[in-house]
Structures are given as structure tokens and as C-alpha cells.
Amino acid sequence: MKLSLKKSFTLLIFPIVALIAILCIAVFPSIRNIWSDWGVIVFFLIVSAICIGSLIFFYRKTIRPVLKLKTATSKIGDGDLDAGLNISSENEHGELAQSFNRMTKTLKISRDELESVVRKRTLELTITNEKLLQEISERKRAEEQLQYDAFHDSLTGLPNRALFMDRLAHLLILSKRRLNHPFAVLFLDVDRFKIINDSLGHTVGDQLLIAIGQRLLSSLKPGDTVARFGGDEFAILLEDISDLNNILNVAERIQMEICKPFNMNNFEIFTTASIGLAMNSTDYENPEQILRDADIAMYQAKAKGKSCAVVFEKGMHTMAVELLKLETDLRKAVERNEFVVYYQPVVSSIANCVIGYEALVRWKHPERGLLYPGDFIHIAEETGLIVFIDRFVLREACSQMSKWQRQFPQSALKFISVNISNKQFLQPDLVEYVTGVINETNIDKKSLKIEITENVIIENPEALIEIFSQLRNIGIQLYIDDFGTGYSSLSYLHRLPIDGIKIDRSFIQRIGNKGENHEIIKTIMLLAQDMNVDVIAEGIETENQLASIKTLKCDYWQGFLFFKPVDSEHAEALIKTAPNTNKPADYNLHSQQKKSIISDIASDV
Ligand code: C2E
Ligand code: CA
Ligand code: CA
């Protein structure tokens, strides 16, 4: 039976009534007299027992649950959700305890759920955090890589131009603050690298550049900087140098290292380096100026025949500025068509008359007048403008020759020779272009000779055999120019489909007054006979040279002794002087006319 709270409070009536009865007995002796003393004691004991029982009952039903509730609540308050409330369900507090227990159970479930959610979230957060940390470190790595890439050459791993310039600028500032802080810049260019790259392929070329970078590093002190500027250009920053000799020693050491053979893909590659040196001086305001001077000196080293080191001197700068101006002018000349073709007669040794012309380019410079190839051809080759010039000369010479062929069908003029540079020769559309010019100008193709210098063959023998054959198939003739200067391999020479060679004028000019020193020419003649090709001796300037050449069976002669190169007008005049018969005229017979023509053009040549 459940005892409600209200009922439990009514229980308190028993002790109160008993108390009142005891008090009555005590206060009113008449009542006490009714019972014997034992009766009073018994009554008193019964009443006391009822009182105590009621109080215990009251305590158990009312006070104890409240105390338990209080303890449990405070435990829960302290976070101990396992603290249940153990109160009999037969009590009004029992219901409270049950709902309390339910509540704590719900709370516990919620807490567990909350804990699992928190655990899950914590795990997620930990993972996210780890990912974030990973991302941050990856980004940092990427940034570092970017930073590294921005300042290093991807092929060799060496510092690049940007880093080099930065260090150079820093050193310059340092040296301005502390006067005794000398340093030098070396500009290095690998000689003939293009040939290696073109012939052995870019992979070998790349490997060679890496190997060169390593050799440079190994020949320097740890504090020095080696940078690759791209292509085959390297720059070196030497610190703590005592004097110029010190730098020259380093340059020599570098050259010795680079001279040693490189073993690459079963190829043994030999190369050299041209080095320009510039020492720090108070004149330098910025790092670009030092580098520019080292670069200028390097160009001088190239011009000196490569494989050497040149120290920058002040005069070189003026020269470089002039060179730059020439380059700019040359570009303009191409746009403005400032080139003209001159023709140098070639004399037949058999017919003794002018039998052909060699077309030679001239530049009508607006300020400097008529310029010769020696003044600009090297820049034209370096800048690639030579391709344009050669094409212009070829077209012009062919159209001129075609005109002459139609105008003077009876003349002894049989051919026109045109020079083709290395660059032009390696143009993939060369054969197509030549064919186009022949068709457009309507020149008799048998009368066109193309001259290629011997060096082209040395640099690219295999590729050339194919191009030579194609050109020859068109019907034109091929001559090797400046023969004897390039040390071309005899094995290749025999395989090349050529029609003739031109003995370099240096051999002709070595012939002495008594006809001595013509052994080399003799050997070349024998070789030509063996190869069954024609020979032109060029650069004949004296009667002695001619007399000596006459003893050898040379097909054609060319040189100032006969004619200097003349413009088309004078060349035409010369054709007109020859008799209009199939029998060619002796050039000597026309010496009178020749003299008048020559004196006419003397100022031009
Ligand atoms: P090259 O092909 O060997 O041409 C002959 C050069 O020798 C010409 O010089 C000519 O004037 C010169 N010469 C001829 N006979 C004598 C002589 O008896 N004594 C002396 N001292 N010189 C003589 P030029 O016209 O100054 O041409 C120089 C070089 O420039 C040419 O040498 C040729 O390699 C190159 N060149 C000229 N025109 C062209 C062109 O249209 N294209 C290309 N790629 N190169 C050209
Ligand atoms: Ca020539
Ligand atoms: Ca020549």
C-alpha cells in the first residue's frame, strides 16, 4: 500500500497526541491516580514506542528520500550520472525517484550520445587538422619549390640569371661600402655547342650542359657562384680574388676542365669554352654593367678564335656599341632593301675569257656608303638575317643571269655562282626555295652554281649528303668554297655529290715571286682530279701567281688580276665587249675595254 506524503505527515499526530497525554498525566495527578504506577509506566512505554515508531517511519518515508534525492542531485550536479536514486516505489518519493532515475537515464543517454558526437567531431577535427597541416606543409613545400625554381636552372640545378644578378648586386653594394672587397665576373660560352646539339641530339646536348655545370663547380671554391643563363651560357662570380692573375688562373683551370673529353651515350665529346672576364671597379653602378662587360669580353674571345679567355678593356665597350648599332642598321637594311649584288668575273683557263660571275653582296649603307661582306656578314650570320640576304642575292643573281641569257644568247657567259651560308643551307625549305627561284626567274638551271664553304661539311657531313643530292637533282651545280681551310674529312668529300671546288685564296696568295709554295695547291689539284671535279683558283692578284697556277690544270681563274667585283651595269658592259660568237673572247684581247670598265668602276670597288 502506497503511503502518500500527506498521510506520512498525519503520522506525526501519534507522537503529538502521546506527548499531550504524557503532559496531561504529568500535569494532572488525578489522571495518574487512576492507574497504578505500573500502568503509567506501561502506558508511558507504549506511547513512547508509538512515538519512536512514528518518528522512524516518518524519517524513513519523508526525510530519508529527501536526503537521498539531495545527495543524488548533488552527485549529478558533479557529473556523476551513474548515481541512481534508490527509493522504494511504494512511497510517494518512489515515483519521484523513478522519474528521477528515468531522467538520469535519459541524461546519461544524452550524455553518451553527446560524448560520441563529441568524440566523432573530435576525430573529424583531428583528421581535418592533420589534412590542414599536410596541406600547409605541401603548400610550404610548393612555395619553396617555386622559390627554388624562380632562382635555379631546371636542367643543371645551378643558380639562374635572377639569383646570379641578386648576388652580384649584393656584392657590388658590399664592395662600395668596403673598398677592399674585389670580385670578378666570368662569362662563359661553350664553343660549337650548337653543332653538338644539332648532330647528337638535344638529350646529349642537355647531358653535356649538366656535365659542364658540374665541372665548373668542381673547379671553383665553395663560396663562388656558378649560374646557367640558358643555352650554353654560364656566368661565374669569383669572390675574394687577389689580382688579375688570380682570375686568369681560374679561367685557365676552367678551360682545362672543359677540354677533357665528356663521355656521353657512348660518344666521346670534345669541346672548349670562350671566357670573358670583367673585374669589379668603382665605375660600375649596377650589376648589369659588369655582366655586360664580361659578355663583351666573351665575344672578343670568340672573335679571337674561341677557346680562350679575354679580359674586358674599356675600348671594347665602344666596339660593342658600334656592333649593336650595326645590327640595328642591318635589320633596317633588310626592311628597306638596301642590299645590292656585285658580280666578280670568273675566267675560263681554257677559253681565256670571262665565262661566269660570282654574285657577291654589298650593302648600300645610308650613312657609311658601300659596305663589304666582311663588315656585316658575321652579324648577319649571328642574327640569322643572312637567310634573308642569301635569298635576296640568289633571286637577284638568277633574274639578272636569266636576263643576260636572253639578251646575249651568243655570249660566252656560262654560269653564275651564288654563295649560300651555313644557316641558309640548313633551312628545311632550301631545295623548294631554290626550285621556286629557278622557275620564277626562268634561268637556265645548268648555269646556276651554288658555293658552300668547306666548314659546313665539317659541321654536318651526313645531313649534307642528302641536301646536296636533292640540289643536284634539280640540275644545278655545287661547289665547295674556300677549299683547303676546313680540314674536311676525305671520306666525306668522296661521298659528297659535288661539281667543283674553289681553292681558297690564302693558298694562291702564298705563292711566292718565283712560283714557290704551291705544293698544297698541287695536292688539291690531284685530289680534285681523283674526285673528277672542276677547280677554280680564286684570289689571283699577280702575274706570278697566274703563271704558277697555269702550270697546274686549273679550270677557272678568279681574282683582282682579272677583275674586281662590279655592279650589274658594269658586268653587263663587260659581257657586251665579248664578240657575239660562240668562240669566247680572250680576256686579254679585251684588256683595253676591261681597263676602261675597271677605271670606270675603280671608285666603287
Ligand atoms: P668568297 O665567297 O670567298 O668570295 C670571294 C671574295 O674574295 C670576295 O670578297 C672577293 O671580292 C674577294 N676576292 C676575289 N678576288 C680577290 C683577289 O684577288 N684578292 C683579294 N684580296 N680578294 C679577292 P667579298 O665580296 O668581300 O666577299 C667576302 C666573303 O663574303 C665571300 O667570300 C663570301 O664568303 C661572303 N659573301 C659575299 N657575298 C655573299 C652572299 O651573298 N652570301 C653569303 N652567304 N656570303 C657572301
Ligand atoms: Ca664564294
Ligand atoms: Ca672563297
Residue 438 Cβ inside 6 Å of ligand 1? The answer reads no
pLDDT (0 to 100) of residue 603: 39
Q: Is the pLDDT of residue 97 over 80?
A: no
Residue 560 Cβ inside 6 Å of ligand 1? The answer reads yes
If one compares 478 and 105, the residue with the highest pLDDT of the two is: 478
CA pair distance 92, 502, nearest whole angstrom: 132
Q: What is the mean pLDDT of residues 371-395?
A: 94
For the stretch 303-334, pLDDT in tens is: 888 889 999 998 888 888 888 899 999 999 99
For the stretch 144-166, pLDDT in tens is: 888 888 999 999 999 999 999 99
If one compares 417 and 265, the residue with the highest pLDDT of the two is: 417
pLDDT (0 to 100) of residue 340: 98
Question: Is residue 297 within 8 Å of 277, Cβ to Cβ?
Answer: yes
- Residue type for position 534: D
Q: Is the pLDDT of residue 421 over 60?
A: yes
* 344 Cα–ligand 2 center, Å: 10
Q: Which of these ranges, 210-224, 308-322, 418-432, has the smallest mean pLDDT?
A: 308-322
Dihedral angle at the C-alpha atoms of 438, 443, 446, 450, nearest 10 degrees? -60
* 520 Cα–ligand 2 center, Å: 20
pLDDT band at 6 (very low <50, low <70, confident <90, very high): low
SS (H, E, C) 500-522: EEEECHHHHHCCCCCCCCCHHHH
Phi-psi region of 240 (alpha: psi -120 to 50; beta: other; left: phi over 0): left
Question: Is residue 188 within 8 Å of 234, Cβ to Cβ?
Answer: yes
- In this structure, what C-alpha cell is assigned to residue 230? 640558358
pLDDT (0 to 100) of residue 582: 40
pLDDT band at 578 (very low <50, low <70, confident <90, very high): low
Residue 545 Cβ inside 6 Å of ligand 1? The answer reads no
Residue 372 Cβ inside 6 Å of ligand 1? The answer reads yes
CA pair distance 145, 141, nearest whole angstrom: 6
DSSP string, 232-265: TEEEEEEES--SHHHHHHHHHHHHHHHHS-EEET
pLDDT band at 589 (very low <50, low <70, confident <90, very high): very low
Q: Is the pLDDT of residue 433 over 60?
A: yes
Question: Is residue 264 within 8 Å of 204, Cβ to Cβ?
Answer: yes
470 contacts: CB under 8 Å, gap ≥ 6: 431
* 361 Cα–ligand 2 center, Å: 11
For the stretch 541-577, pLDDT in tens is: 999 999 999 998 899 999 999 999 999 999 999 998 8
CA pair distance 410, 353, nearest whole angstrom: 14
pLDDT band at 5 (very low <50, low <70, confident <90, very high): low
Mutate to test the pocket of ligand 1, among 395, 419, 549 (most ligand atoms within 8 A of CB): 419
Residue 551's SS3 state is coil
Q: What is the mean pLDDT of residues 34-57?
A: 79
Q: What is the mean pLDDT of residues 27-47?
A: 75
Residue 565 Cβ inside 6 Å of ligand 1? The answer reads yes
For the stretch 487-501, pLDDT in tens is: 666 667 788 899 999
Nearest to 232 by CA among 187, 294, 277: 187
Q: Which of these ranges, 21-30, 228-237, 506-515, has the smallest mean pLDDT?
A: 21-30
- Residue type for position 168: L
Q: Is the whole model's pTM more than 0.85, yes or no?
A: no
Residue 310's SS3 state is strand
pLDDT band at 600 (very low <50, low <70, confident <90, very high): very low
303 contacts: CB under 8 Å, gap ≥ 6: none
306 contacts: CB under 8 Å, gap ≥ 6: 191, 192, 272, 274
CA pair distance 217, 165, nearest whole angstrom: 18
Protein residue closest via CA to atom 11 of ligand 1? 565
CB atoms within 10 A of CB 487: 9
Residue 481 Cβ inside 6 Å of ligand 1? The answer reads yes
* 451 Cα–ligand 2 center, Å: 6
Q: Is the pLDDT of residue 593 over 70?
A: no
Residue 452 Cβ inside 6 Å of ligand 1? The answer reads no
Q: What is the mean pLDDT of residues 118-122?
A: 91
Q: Is the pLDDT of residue 585 over 50?
A: no
- Residue type for position 105: K
Nearest to 170 by CA among 186, 154, 183: 183
Question: Is residue 215 within 8 Å of 257, Cβ to Cβ?
Answer: yes
If one compares 191 and 454, the residue with the highest pLDDT of the two is: 191
DSSP string, 465-509: HHHHHHHHHHT-EEEEEEETSS---HHHHHHS--SEEEE-HHHHH
* 360 Cα–ligand 1 center, Å: 6
Residue 541 Cβ inside 6 Å of ligand 1? The answer reads yes
Q: Which of these ranges, 18-32, 88-102, 300-314, 341-355, has the smallest mean pLDDT?
A: 88-102
* Residues forming a β-bridge with 188: 234, 275
Residue 347's SS3 state is strand
Q: Is the pLDDT of residue 470 over 90?
A: yes
| HSE of 266, CA atoms in CB hemisphere, 13 A | 0
Angle at 530 between CA 524 and CA 533, to 5 degrees: 75
CB atoms within 10 A of CB 92: 18
Q: Is the pLDDT of residue 605 over 60?
A: no
CA pair distance 186, 297, nearest whole angstrom: 9
pLDDT (0 to 100) of residue 79: 76
Residue 392 Cβ inside 6 Å of ligand 1? The answer reads no
Angle at 180 between CA 175 and CA 186, to 5 degrees: 60
- In this structure, what C-alpha cell is assigned to residue 535? 677547280
Ligand 1 atom with the smallest distance to the CA of 424 is 44
How high is the mean pLDDT of the chain?
Answer: 86
pLDDT (0 to 100) of residue 584: 42
